[in-house]
Structure 1
């Protein structure tokens, strides 16, 4: 009887060892490591929850348990210190009037923090490569565009969102990655004062599309 019980127990352990690994203290970090490599090498679109789970040796359900959606995993893997899905509703809770200045102040505030800027610059630089363009277009910019289009009133919300996103991208690239002077050394308040009016027109001003 004891041999049967022992054999059954050993067999059960063997089955568990051959299956997917359950959650463990290092599982979350392993998933993030695999996801980071996949996003960097394959881009956003080609990276899947199932593929990350398989490479990490866990069930896809565990990846969802730790991180939720693919967008959540993307932001966590790249260690993006700001989630546009959380920032944009706060910026626009008072309406579109003055929203450009609030948006610029919030975004530049994150980029001006040394600990956040290092990671964001790294992500932006990585996004300039072939696979990285998918990270930027399908990953981060898509989240920004969807968030903006969802809060902008009036006609052409998607076009307005793209104009805002691309203007912001150019500003961040010039100020923090290329470090173009004197823009890079301007105080945040001066950048907001100079850029916000044009950004505000994209948000709620007339758009001449005749040309």
Structure 2
């Protein structure tokens, strides 16, 4: 094979010479926008927001709510009488359904440092006044649970106890001198057969100032006698 001595001659015309390549590159670099399919920096800055620049109100489309508008809408919603008419209000639900959850709870109890000796035979025993019990409406209904913690051989054991329950429908106010009904109920006991308990609201006047009295057919010694009132309506 012969040795090539002049590489600038004898090539097909479709192959570029060194000078043509250098010239083409220089022309490409000197062009204002040699790649129009891509964005220039000016085009990019004009089309997109630079992350280093904080947003201003004018940058946000009018359809997007501002903080003040959101706060105002929430306040108006909260202040509305019935913002969700699809759902029942408490007043609407109370009129439509029978309330079964406790409205208020109060306890009256006697738990002195010394033991309580109860003679039995149905003798009334004062527990105390209702105090903070919410009387509710004229149709108030109360579930009442009576609990006794016995003392056996001078000691109190958690399992030595008795309990019973009944339903009361006391009125909000009773005039002085009127007879008060007594409500009897069975008492389930740990160490004896079932015996009878009873309860009445003895004092006259407002419901919250009436004396709670209990009685039992069994004699016992106890460290606690408690009546728990749960208003159902």
* TM class by smaller structure: 0.3 to 0.5
Structure with more helix by fraction: 1
Higher RCO, 1 vs 2 (CA within 8 Å, ≥6 residues apart): 2
- If the length of structure 2 is used for normalisation, what is the TM-score? 0.31
